[in-house]
Chain A
Amino acid sequence: NAGVTQTPKFRVLKTGQSMTLLCAQDMNHEYMYWYRQDPGMGLRLIHYSVGEGTTAKGEVPDGYNVSRLKKQNFLLGLESAAPSQTSVYFCASSQDSWAEQYFGPGTRLTVT
């Protein structure tokens, strides 16, 4: 049981480049989430999904897109990276909206 995995672990992008972060979970959870963590700001929700084929905006969705084509995967895309998107990104999953979330190890992204 791998739990929640994230790919890649580290990435450096130049301003304007695009990339996709992949999250995978093997717990058959319905809910999946993408957060970013910045110093002093805690965990801020970017987008989330309540099931396969669904996505919804969180607190800070601008500049990001997501897709959940398969139940076990949740992709986060940056179409045109900006330095303000330098952050640590965490993916999480849960069985119910209120239940405990299982987090991945994080992706450290630097945009120069």
Chain B
Amino acid sequence: DQQVKQNSPSLSVQEGRISILNCDYTNSMFDYFLWYKKYPAEGPTFLISISSIKDKNEDGRFTVFLNKSAKHLSLHIVPSQPGDSAVYFCAASSTSGGSYIPTFGRGTSLIVHP
């Protein structure tokens, strides 16, 4: 059973608009969350992360929001640019000790139209 779910396989957005990518998790032990971006024929690259002690983290055009009670996080990209077209993976892990390997969602393919 998937512990990290990205329920939208794809998302299409107009350039300049906001892109919102969603991620849900089920394991209450998860307390650290990461987003990765992947272009075709390349490996994923780390984009932004958030700890459960925060509910928001910003880095330029990228903001991640965390709703712990709903076990939900979202990545906002504002404004969206054609170069943001990629697959975005959400990952969740635990910092509370032990060998807790991050669990990845299946990804959301974002297409930003000029």
Contacts and interface: CB of A to CB of B under 8 A. Distances in A.
Interface of A: 4, 33, 40-43, 45, 48, 50, 56, 58, 90, 92, 96-98, 100-106
Interface string B23-55: 000000000101010000111111001000000
Interface in B59-108: 89, 93-95, 98-102, 104-107
B9 interface: yes
A50 B97 CA distance: 13
Contact of A43 (B41, B44, B49, B95): B44
Nearest to B48: A100
A99 to B, nearest CB: 8
Contacts of A102: 46
Most buried by B among A101, A105, A106: A101
A48 B95 CA distance: 17
Contact of B101 (A90, A97, A103, A104): A97
Interface residues of B, number: 25
B62 to A, nearest CB: 14
Contacts, number: 57
A97 B89 contact: no
A108 to B, nearest CB: 8
A104 B45 CA distance: 9
Given A97-B98, A104-B43, 8 more contacts: A42-B6, A42-B105, A90-B43, A92-B43, A92-B44, A97-B101, A101-B46, A101-B102
